[in-house]
Amino acid sequence: MVLRLSISDPDFDAAFDALVNARREADADVSADVRAIIQDVRDHGDEAVARLTGKFDQHDLEQTGWRVDKAESEAALEGLEASLRVALELAALRIRDYHDGQLPDNRDYMDDAGVRIGARWGAVERAGIYIPGGRAAYPSSVLMNAIPAKVAGVEHIIMVTPAPGGYINPLVLAAAELAGVDEIWRIGGAQAVAALAYGTEKIKPVDVITGPGNAWVAEAKRQVFGVVGIDMVAGPSEIVVVADGKNDPDWIAADLLSQAEHDPTSQSILFTDDAKFAEQVSVKVGEQLGVLATSETATTSWNDNGAIIIVDRLDQAVPLVDRLAAEHLELAVDDPDALFRKIRHAGSVFLGRHTPEAVGDYVAGPNHVLPTGRRARFSSGLSVTDFMKRTSFIHCDEQALHNIGPAAVALAETEGLPAHAASVQKRLDRI
């Protein structure tokens, strides 16, 4: 049964604390298993990847093929139903346009001391993107990962995706072709992350790994961070909806279930100041669960992790929403901007009654790879800069070094680093 709370309940604070701190990740401690898989791939390369793929995805890479031929992804795109291709191309266009605006500017200027300083941005050479392939096909995730990499200027984009029985959904291949992915490999799981990070005989190592996955994939990304860059460690999906009683309860119920259907550990939470409306939403959730093709997953998610929270006034929800720091936040109210100005922590915010979270998953433009598990308190969604790095530069002429060098000498001597001091002082002596 879904959790119901009221801010006027005497035990509300304790109950809400428990909701905030609930651990929804996989129960099993997967870190040791993942560490063993990564070491196996490091020690045995392609042989380990093939063996683990046979074990977990039930196909022989030597028979099904390690890598998808370019002709196969081209055929997948060409074979799309016309309306679906139009939708995919619209999504790609909007995602590309939005991410074009994220490209950072280089800096190059002369300061008051006569020192030329600045920074130059550049893309990583090779990016690996992980695309889930278990419960459903996610062409949208291909676009959301590959297009920002392309916009950043990444030279080579390598995609890995689980292929149970050797099969990859043609939609995923079509999206990869449309987005400009350079290599597609039929491997998934922690072994795929390890192969991308350390390289094997067949797969060259990458510089950055992005994309969502299950608990094993998330843990593998955590463990290889430092060898490669990663976007984030992603957990179960989540949505928070703040809605008044003027909304259609059928709409809000659908919004809540749009995340519940992802996974049994997903979380959907409604805040409202209207108890009657809350009950109407609850009834509509039950009705929709009765007809959803994903009902089994969504029902478990809603009953185990969902919540309906009644507040006296909607502004009382703001600090509670900030504590949850949810992946997705809908503000379905008359003046969403007024609430949005007060919100500090959310992965992505959807303003107004006609902006369901699902539009952001596909065609709005901003990235749908977002921080989960309260990580929106300190991190952001996937962006172009996740595929870039910044190199600073400094240029001193004699006068500039004369102006700032003595301070550097003084600080080096204070820190007990005489060679540092000498490398500056020797030049100052000549000047």
- 328 an active-site residue? yes
Burial environment of residue 325 by CB neighbours within 10 A (0 to 12, 13 to 18, 19 or more): buried
- 327 an active-site residue? yes
Phi, psi for residue 155 in degrees, rounded to 5: -75, -35
Catalytic hit among 59, 262, 328, 368 = 328
Tokens of 365: 């433009």
168: left (phi over 0), alpha (psi -120 to 50) or beta: beta
Q: Are 187 and 162 in contact (CB under 8 A)?
A: yes
SS3 sequence, 115-163?
CEEEEEEEECCEEEEECCCCCCCCHHHHHHHHHHHHHHCCCEEEEECCC
The residues, any chain, with a CB within 8 Å of residue 97's CB and separated by 6 or more, are 365
User: Where are any strands of DSSP class E within 206-315?
Assistant: 208-210, 229-230, 238-243, 267-272, 307-310
Catalytic hit among 177, 327, 330, 357 = 327
Tell me the pairing of strands 388-395 and 116-123.
Answer: antiparallel
How many C-beta atoms surround the C-beta of residue 131 within 10 A? Answer: 28
Q: Report how far residue 179's alpha carbon sits from residue 146's, in angstroms, rounded to the nearest whole number.
A: 6
Q: Are 178 and 143 in contact (CB under 8 A)?
A: yes
The residues, any chain, with a CB within 8 Å of residue 367's CB and separated by 6 or more, are 95, 99, 144, 148, 381, 382, 383
Q: State which amino acid sits at residue 324.
A: L
Which residues participate in catalysis according to the annotation?
A: 327-328
